[in-house]
Chains A and B, each alone.
Chain A
Amino acid sequence: MQKTLKVKVIVEGNADGDLLVCRDPVSPLGDIDPVRGVLKTKEGEQNLKGKVLVFPFMRGSTVGSYVVYALKHYRKEPAAIIVSRAEPILITGCVLAGIPLAETVGSNVVEEAMGFRKARLVSVKKILVLES
Chain B
Amino acid sequence: MYLTREEERMLQGEYGPAVEKAMRVLVKTCECMGGERLTRVTHAHVSGVSYLTIGEPGRTLIRELAEMGARARVFSTINPTGIDVEKWELMGIPRDFAEKQLDITRAFSKMGFTESMTCTPYFLRPPCEEESLAWGESSAVGMANSYYGAKTNREGGPMALMSAITGRTCFCGLHLTENRRPTVRIVLDDQVRARLGDPVIAGLLGYLVGVKVGSGVPYVDLGENPSFDSIKSYTAAAGASGSIAMSFIKGVTPGYKKAVREKLERIHVGWDEMRDLLSEQDYSSPDLLYVGCPHASLEEIIHVWRTLKESGEASFEVWVSTSRKIYSDAERMGLVEKLESLGALVIRDTCPIVTPAVRRFKHVVTTSWKAYFYLPRMHGIEVSVVENRNLGEVLCRKR
Contacts and interface: CB of A to CB of B under 8 A. Distances in A.
The judgment on whether A and B are partners is yes
Interface of A: 10-11, 34-35, 61-63, 65-67, 69-70, 73, 86-89, 91-93, 95-96, 103
B28 A69 contact: no
A66 B54 contact: yes
A95 B157 contact: no
A91 B32 contact: yes
Contact of B61 (A10, A69, A87): A69
A88 B162 contact: no
If over half of B's interface residues share one DSSP class (helix, strand or loop), that class is named, otherwise mixed; here it is: helix
B158 interface: yes
A69 B60 contact: yes
A69 B55 CA distance: 12
Contacts of A65: 156-159
A62 to B, nearest CB: 3
A92 B48 contact: no
Interface in B52-85: 53-58, 60-61, 64
A99 to B, nearest CB: 12
B158 A10 contact: no
Contacts of B33: 88
A95 B28 contact: yes
B236 to A, nearest CB: 18
B24 interface: yes
B156 A70 contact: no
Contact of A89 (B21, B56, B156): B156
Chain B interface bracket (under 10, 10 to 19, 20 to 34, 35 or more): 20 to 34
Contacts of B54: 63, 66
Given A10-B32, A70-B60, A95 B53 contact: no
A73 B29 contact: no
B25 interface: yes
A67 to B, nearest CB: 5
A66 B156 contact: no
22 contacts: A10-B31, A10-B32, A34-B56, A62-B136, A62-B159, A63-B54, A63-B55, A65-B157, A66-B57, A69-B57, A69-B60, A69-B61, A73-B61, A88-B32, A88-B159, A89-B156, A91-B28, A92-B29, A92-B158, A92-B159, A92-B162, A95-B21
A88 B61 contact: no
A69 B64 CA distance: 11
